[in-house]
Amino acid sequence: MAPAWKCLFLHAGIIIIILIVMQLGLRVTVAQLNMANESVLPTKERSLKGREEKMFVAAKHAANKNPTVEPFPDGLEIIMFAERRFWRILGVFSTQVGYAGGFTPNPTYHDVCSSLTGHTEVVRMVFFPKNFSLEKLLKVFWKSHDPTQGMAQGNDHGTQYRSAIYTYSPEQQELAMRSKHMYQEHTEFYFAEDNHQQYLHKVPKGYCGLKGTGVTCSIRGEKDEL
């Protein structure tokens, strides 16, 4: 199976910076460290150079003892999610964590954490589609993952923690996009208590923390204010 995929989705002194680079063994310049931004993806030109050597990993899965590297048995499919809760699912043959969607070849963990590789932290899944469909895997993903946090997941912040699904075929891409739209559209509405209804009308000087940014949003050229 061809490993081609698509994506659906310091302030410190120079001496301190140099010490960090030497200690972690990063291929980073002082200028690159200053350019790193945890909320903005780097361009290809600003990304780390990486390395030709591939990462060495154990050939067998620590939990189910199945292979973790190619070749895999016939009849299996592969997909990558930015989520970790899959290897216990019956029908999943093997899982491997790694990095995808960036520019730097064969990055290390420290490379990725620099926000200068463009990669997402992902889990690659090898599964039997006849035993556990991609639709079910997508359901697990959307139930386990919070795509509303931007470049973060919980207390983990950085571009490597963005939400992503990387597919290996047009069919997978279509199913993933469909699941995304269904997830966005399926929102249940629940009424708040009655004392919250029209609260600022009932309590004109009541507290409300909502406020804008001061920037006008002109839709279709209209500048009317509410």
Expressed as residue numbers, the domain containing 126 is 6-185
Q: What is the per-residue burial (b if ≥16 Cβ within 10 Å, else e) of 108-124? A: beebbbbbbbbbbbbbb
Q: What is the mean pLDDT of each run of 10 residues along the chain (226 residues)?
A: 47 37 41 56 82 84 85 86 69 86 89 88 88 88 80 82 88 91 72 77 79 57 47
pLDDT at position 193 is 77
pLDDT given for residue 55 in this prediction: 79
Q: Answer whether residue 10 is part of any domain.
A: yes
Report pLDDT for 202: 86
Exposed/middle/buried for residue 200 (C-beta within 10 Å: 0-12, 13-18, 19+): exposed
pLDDT at 140: 84
For the domain that residue 134 is a member of, what is the CATH number?
A: 3.30.1060.10
Q: Is 68 exposed, middle or buried (0-12, 13-18, 19+ CB in 10 A)?
A: buried
Count the domains in the chain.
1
Tell me 167's DSSP state.
E
Alpha-carbon radius of gyration of the chain = 22
- Domain assignment present for 37: yes
Q: Note the pLDDT of residue 212.
A: 56
Please report whether residue 198 resides in a domain: no
Q: Considering the domain boundaries, does residue 225 fall inside one?
A: no
pLDDT of residue 170: 92
Q: Is the pTM of this model over 0.75?
A: no
Q: Is residue 134 part of a domain?
A: yes
> In this predicted structure, what is the pLDDT of residue 12?
39
What the block records as the tokens of 6 is 């698509």
